[in-house]
Amino acid sequence: MSEQFLYKSFNEIDINDIFFDSLKNDYTEFEEWFSRKKENDENAFIQIVNGSLEGFLYLKEEKGPINDIYPILNCDKALKIGTFKIVPHGTRLGERFIKKSIDFAINKGIDYIYVTIFSHHEYLLNMFLKYGFIIHGSKTTQNGEENVLVKRISKISNDSLLDYPKINTTSKSFLLGIKPEFHTNLFPDSKLFNESFDVIKDVSHTNSITKVYIAKMRGMSSIRPGDNIIIYRTSDGRAPARFRSVATTACTVLDTKHISSFKTLDALKDYCKNYSIFDDRQLNDFRQSRENYYVVKMIYNVSLNKRIIQGNLIDDIGLSPAYWGFFQLTNSQFNSILELGEVNKAYLI
């Protein structure tokens, strides 16, 4: 499949596309609303898969309090997920839209995000609840009653999924090397500007917030849930690693298992389903091997705004490992990577 994730003007989006039929059915005023957005030359995120529109996300900044919902949401400002629709086909596109919404709010300095969803959209409701939205109340219009879901980014519950995308800077931290051929498909928003990927496949591990990676590097047995991982794209061989190996991404570990804990291939496939870059043949090879492979499930918290080459990791942060594939970082080194990577402090606990 070919996939494009685009930020487009309403004037460039065809409201007559059959994709919008369900929105027209749910909201009698949808076509009028769409026309107003065209007149104002506003923009929305869209997802194109094999030439077809399969995702639409409109975000709106609003001044508070938000008083057209019950109970009123008392805040200075909020980000409203005004329209959110995907064609679900097992690719976790909805998670990518949630990530985009939260990243957008953080970059705008907005603490509250809210969305209204009809109860019959159970899939969407559960997905928002998984990543820390709570049912705040309801909104009643001519179209019926919708659930109002709210996420306050600054609220901490000490649960890695509910607190997403927060990073606990006091947790144990590691650097994990990932080969270039795996890196961008697994972490699409961490794509390097000098990489030549114009099209990223529309597959679940690309879109998902949760990721699974399998490797056998020494020391990986010490990884525990709640630990931090800095993703390090290893060199592509075009120049010395000092210039081509790059720290790109911060993640939080959800779970880690030795490959031997999966008694069947199906058990491993179920665990990795929608979250891994590895196909069934590769998963079977891992499981059949007698080597110490570890299966790490983690949250894709944030891409570093500034990618950090190995030379800067050595010169500016003082890293000097015997092996760059996997090693533990001190809290000071981890925080220095986030600072040098210009990560917005709103992501940090």
Burial grade of 193 (CB within 10 A; 0-12, 13-18, 19 or more) = exposed
pLDDT digits (tens, 9 = 90+) for 153-196: 999 998 999 999 999 999 999 999 988 877 777 776 555 444 33
| Residue 3 pLDDT grade (very low, low, confident, very high; cuts 50, 70, 90) | low
Q: What is the pLDDT of residue 202?
A: 35
For residues 124-134, one letter each, b for 16 or more C-beta atoms within 10 angstroms of the residue's C-beta and e for the rest, the string is bbebbeebbbe
pLDDT digits (tens, 9 = 90+) for 30-81: 999 999 999 999 999 888 878 888 889 999 999 989 999 999 999 999 999 9
CATH 3.10.590.10 in the chain is located at 173-347
Q: Do residues 17 and 47 make contact, with C-beta atoms less than 8 angstroms apart? A: no
- Tokens representing residue 73 in the block: 């949401």
The CB density around residue 53, as the number of other CB atoms within 10 Å, is: 17
- Residue ranges matching CATH 3.40.630.30 in the chain: 3-152
Residue owning tokens 């900044």: 61
- Read off the pLDDT of each residue in 229-250 and give the average, rounded to a whole number: 87
Cβ(349)–Cβ(167) below 8 Å: yes
Burial class of 4 by CB neighbour count within 10 A (0 to 12, 13 to 18, 19+): middle
Return d(Cα 289, Cα 284) in angstroms, integer. Answer: 8
Closest CA to 256 of 299, 207, 285, 291: 299
Q: Is 79 exposed, middle or buried (0-12, 13-18, 19+ CB in 10 A)?
A: buried
292-343, pLDDT tens digit by residue? 999 999 998 988 888 899 999 999 999 999 899 999 999 999 999 999 999 9
Residue 248, phi then psi, degrees to nearest 5: -125, -25
Distance, in Å, from the CA atom of 79 to the CA atom of 101, rounded to the nearest integer, reads 8
- Consecutive H or E run containing 23: helix 21-26
Kindly state the tokens that stand for 14: 């065809």
Classify 251 as helix, strand or coil.
strand
Of residues 235, 230, 228, the one with CA closest to residue 192: 235
Question: What is the widest separation between alpha-carbon atoms in the chain?
Answer: 65
Mean pLDDT for 194-204 is 33
Question: Do 120 and 73 form a contact (C-beta atoms < 8 A)?
Answer: no
| 80: number of Cβ within 10 Å | 17
d(CA 149, CA 247): 35
| pTM of the model as a whole | 0.84
Concatenated DSSP letters of 83-152 = EEEE--SSS-HHHHHHHHHHHHHHHTT--EEEEEE-TT-HHHHHHHHHTT-EEEEEEEETTEEEEEEEEE
Distance CA 151, CA 155 (A): 8
Closest CA to 220 of 301, 298, 327, 304: 327
Mean local confidence (pLDDT), 134-143: 90
One of 3.30.365.10, 3.40.800.20, 3.10.590.10, 1.10.3720.10 is the CATH number of 173-347, namely: 3.10.590.10
340's CB contacts (< 8 A; 6+ apart) are 306, 308, 312, 316, 317
Are 298 and 334 in contact by the 8 Å Cβ rule? The answer is: no
Q: How far is CA 48 from CA 4, 43, 97, 332, in A?
A: 5, 15, 13, 42
* Summary mean pLDDT of the chain: 87
CATH number of 3-152: 3.40.630.30
